[in-house]
Amino acid sequence: MLGIIQTRGVTNMIKYPVMLKEICKRYRNLYTGAISDTLDKNGLRNQVLPYYVRPLRKDMIIAGPAFTGYGEVSNNPYKNDNMKRIEMLEQVNPLDVLVWETNGDTSSAHWGALMSNSAMKSQATGAVIDGGVRDCNAILEMNFPVFTKFYCSATSNGRWFISNYQIPIKIGNVKINPGDFIMGDIDGVVVIPSEKTYDILLQAEDLLNSESKMSAEMKNGQTLREAYGKYGSI
């Protein structure tokens, strides 16, 4: 049976040869270094988010299709985007990873406990925020994976607002389209183009298998030179 994602607000349907839930599970068994190396070998060398996007807790892992959000700076203390946020969060699909472009705003928190709670109820699997997060203790208690740039107590109301969602965004130099596959762990966050998601998965699994064999043989006395001679550069 084909795995099919229909991302609300996006006209193209993403089709996989297996169910999306299985793909997410298999990506979670990998690590971002192996995925990044595999992307490099496929000529996709600009898919890793900036170094500063870090998990709230080092064991957090995210794997799922991107649900993108885009926001802008506001200097109007009366501007409130609560209804836009509610509208947006109501469109989140199971297994989604919410990914926010904030336009470099550092004035406030762009994500918090209420949004995490709502995302969890929609069965989203995490969030990647190129900006600030608050309510961190509450989010940690929920065990909802969040990757962020910084912590900040200030509300975004009157400082920053969500202006659009499910559109192409950019974090650092990495372009992210709705439905692109997001994988994150302690080493960072990588973005896999939606049409490459399954092929990259298969190749990364092969790479991890070769690495495991190399490690096992080196534990039994084989040198790194001998291992590279047998398996080649991986």
Tell me the per-residue pLDDT of 13-55, one tens digit each, with 9 for 90 and over.
Answer: 678 899 999 999 999 999 999 999 999 999 999 999 999 999 9
What is the fold of 3-194?
Glucose Oxidase; domain 1 (3.50.30)
217 pLDDT band, cuts 50/70/90, is: low
- Asked whether the beta carbons of 115 and 136 are under 8 A apart, the reply is no
In the numeric block, which tokens belong to residue 138? 């509450």
- Asked whether the beta carbons of 202 and 16 are under 8 A apart, the reply is no
Q: What is the mean pLDDT of residues 98-111?
A: 97
Overall pTM surpassing 0.95 (yes/no): no
Domain ranges for the chain, please list them.
3-194
What pLDDT is stored for residue 11 in this prediction? 38
Q: Among candidates 158, 109, 153, which has minimal Cα distance to 132?
A: 109
Whole-number Cα distances in Å, 1 to 15, 108, 193, 200: 10, 45, 22, 20
232 pLDDT band, cuts 50/70/90, is: low
Q: CA-CA distance, 47 to 36, in Å (whole number)?
A: 7
